[in-house]
Structure 1
Amino acid sequence: MASTTKRIPMTSLTETVVCSALTMVLPTDGKAPEWVQLLPAGSVQPNDGRPGWSLKDAGAVIVASMTAAPRGLLAIDYDHAADIAVPKGGTAPAAGWITGLEGRNDGIWAKVDWTVPGARAIASKEYRFLSPSFLHTPDRVITRIIGAGLTNRPALTMLPALASSQGDTMNPTLLAVLEALGLPGDADQTTVLATITKLKGGTSTATAAAIPDPALYVPRTLYDQASVALASMRSNLSDEQAVAKVDAAICAGKMTPAQRDWGLALCRQNPNSFDTFTNVAPAVFANLSRDLVPGFTPVEHAASGRLTADQLALCTSMNLDPAEFAKNL
């Protein structure tokens, strides 16, 4: 059995569809009746063990039913196909169309415009009963008629009304939502909305907590830019230090000017290895350095002979006079 849902103000969250709850025996005189009874007045009790329903305000039910009816028509199908087969991908051809509803002392009656196959099914006694589909509140008050179906499985024999025993159920999607919220199937609208509001509040709090503190974090683009700039600065600084160390080693006579490119490559790749080399290498090229290195004087040579390669590199990088620097050691 299929079902539909819609909100009802105040009293409950949904209306539930019942199909095949009541039965009216169709005439057997070979004619499809123009008027058929859909609902009895007052209390409605099926004989299949389900709780009954009540028709408290026939006028309100008629107004609600026809207002919601597409183009003022409610379909009568076969075996409640619109409620059962259509949700599963099936079809629901009409056996007739309800064009009007009327409240009488004994309940609600419908005026029907039968299709040729529908009239033939009744005249040939292929179908003997008519069953309405209607909506009701959780306290089982009938609120709206949504159609009817020809059927041969009556569930109510208290009236000249028919119903097959399909039962009633809540919309399965809504039932799944209530289950996901941890609520019972009969939860009212207030409870459901309160639960959803609470969950939304928790989500907002969690989302706010997930926003990073701008005082502790920076955007990734800024971080990448800063990393590139820092790497460039370090590269430039390392290159300047390598040049200073190599030139200082040449000035100290540890290397010849012809070895400058080799010294730069070694110092840039492995500064510690270069330092080890300059620390143990004798100043055998001091005179050559004095002649080939511009601005190199004997005083500088004397001073440089007493300075280590690192000290000479420091003097070069800071534009210090090696001799003056040596005086302060």
Structure 2
Amino acid sequence: MSKTAATSTIALCSAMPLPAGDTVPEWIHLLPAGQMQTFDGRGPYRVADIAKLIEVSMQGDARLPIDENHATDLAAPKGEPSPARGWIVALEQRGDGVWGKVEWTGSGKALLADKAYRHISPVIVHDQNNVVGGVVRASLVNRPNLRGLTALHQEQTMDPTLVQIREALGLPATADAAAVAAGVNALKVSTSTTALQHVSQALTPIAKAVGLTEQATGDQILTAIQSLQAAGKSDVAAQITALQTELTNKGNALVALQQTISNDRAVAFVDGAIKAGKISVKPLRDHYIAEHVKDPARVEKEIGALPALQSSGTTAVPPSDARPGELTADEASVVAMMGIDPEAFKKTKAAQAAKQEAL
């Protein structure tokens, strides 16, 4: 980033911390949030657009060098060494300003592990109005100039989240973690009081709805609601029991109706067969009716296979295959299918024939 008539490059000599111990920080604090003050009276400086500043500073494949004591600006012009101790490879906006991600060189890690330096000083570009337009590099230093940055080896570094909370609570930048915690607790108390007021206001119409006064406590309201629920559950249970009884009665009535219909059909068929002169049906009328109720198709097939007596008393099919007093082939087949004693059937057949002759 070259120096132009409208801009100036300045080393701010600021401060940014390492965590306690020998840990080397991956991120360093390069610019504080808001207006930037310096110890030597220059400025103040400000960043109008942090997103644009990051874009300008890291354009292309930029890797911003970190040297010692601004060697690039002070020693290099004299031909003296100004080696990089690290490279800033990314910039990020946080609640307390701009932070840079660093890839440290071996010598840089050794310097930080040895705690040889305590601060970071950014080199910035600004215009005549002291508006910062970009970061060009940074330097390890021990005498910071820019106020508001975190020291490299500060024993207690405030978490960026706490910084954001501090700002949200409206606390000053000097407020430490304890002050932030106190602010949060105060907010909780205030919020709790407000919440209780809202709850009390919401309970008033509920108390009236359950027949209590506006001064009823939450426990009293809860007890009243539970009582109403219990009563409601009892009514529902009684309604369910009545409904179940009604359904059972209707089911029983339907079964009885179906049985009546089946029995009527059986009686009509068997009596029709008797009227048609089907042999041996009348003596076994009740048996055929009961069997027809259970299996109409089977009984109708069996009775349909029986011979019928004509009005003259003779069978519709001449029993040419049977001797007098014996069963025809069809009769024997039917008797066998129905499990009837052949001799009993013969007696029934003879009695029926005698009755027909008497007529």
User: TM-score scaled to structure 2, two decimals?
Assistant: 0.40
**Greater Rg, structure 1 or structure 2?**
2
User: TM-score scaled to structure 1, two decimals?
Assistant: 0.44
Larger RCO (CA within 8 A; separation ≥ 6) = 1
